[in-house]
């Protein structure tokens, strides 16, 4: 534990990437975006109902962001074939990229939680050295859809059932490979420099699935003028 790269900060250059798109032909890369500001958000796989909701929000913001000269990009931790099937029935104007290995999540420094072994005397440091007790005590209801605040895993079960979302073998495999991946939003200017960052649950697991709202995103985009 402790060897994760910290999230990129404002003033740092975005790393090179090239990912297949689920709703465009071919791939999208940092080089292809040069000269155009963009908001890039890194999500868990489709198994996460809160991530699916945020992708929808980003899609609804795409016209306003484009009016600010900002492209909208969502990176989903799922294979491109699976994403194409899902989003064929739930289209979005946001550019959808797929990273089943979370390689770009890692390059941008989006954390993934790591739990201390049982009985560890090391001081917890969320999310890089988290205690299971800390995680088990978390209760969330970030969208207000739940009858009460629930443990994050229980909240996922309730919302997936509410949505009628059925796991495929691919979804199960992605969840097994990346069960503790967090979410990050980065606003990058036309020169490739990060100008704004929002990382999920910075202050602890009670902040899980709390993502930036429309006002925060639009304010960040406006600041690029």
Q: What are the chain's domains?
A: 18-112+169-203 (3.40.30.10)
Number of neighbours of residue 2 by Cβ within 10 angstroms:
8
Helix (H) or strand (E) holding 127: none
What does the pLDDT profile of the chain (225 residues) look like in tens digits? 446 889 999 999 999 999 999 999 999 999 999 999 999 999 999 999 999 999 999 999 999 999 999 999 999 999 999 999 999 999 999 999 999 999 999 999 999 999 998 888 888 899 999 999 999 999 999 999 999 999 999 999 999 999 999 999 999 999 999 999 999 999 999 999 999 999 999 999 999 999 999 999 999 999 998
Number of neighbours of residue 148 by Cβ within 10 angstroms:
7
Helix (H) or strand (E) holding 199: strand 194-199
- pTM for the model: 0.95
C-alpha distances out from residue 25 to 3, 29, 59, 115, Å = 36, 12, 18, 39
């Amino acid at each position: 534990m402790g060897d994760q790269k910290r999230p990129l900060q404002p003033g740092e250059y975005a790393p090179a990437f090239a990912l297949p798109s689920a709703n465009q032909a071919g791939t999208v890369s940092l080089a292809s975006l040069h000269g155009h500001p963009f908001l890039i958000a890194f999500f868990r796989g489709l198994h996460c109902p809160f991530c699916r909701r945020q992708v929808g929000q980003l899609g609804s913001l795409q016209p306003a962001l484009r009016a600010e000269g900002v492209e909208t990009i969502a990176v989903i931790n799922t294979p491109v074939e699976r994403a194409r099937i899902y989003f064929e029935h739930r289209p979005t104007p946001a550019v959808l990229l797929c990273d089943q290995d979370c390689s770009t999540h890692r390059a941008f420094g989006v954390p993934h939680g790591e739990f201390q072994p049982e009985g560890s005397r090391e001081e917890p440091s969320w999310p890089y050295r988290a205690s299971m007790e800390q995680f088990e005590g978390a209760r969330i209801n970030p969208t207000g859809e739940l009858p009460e605040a629930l443990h994050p895993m229980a909240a996922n079960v309730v919302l997936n059932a509410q949505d009628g979302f059925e796991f495929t073998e691919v979804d199960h495999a992605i969840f097994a490979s990346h069960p503790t991946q967090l979410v990050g939003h980065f606003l990058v200017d036309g020169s490739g420099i990060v100008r704004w960052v929002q990382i999920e649950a910075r202050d602890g697991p009670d902040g899980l699935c709390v993502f930036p709202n429309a006002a925060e995103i639009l304010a960040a985009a406006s600041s690029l003028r």
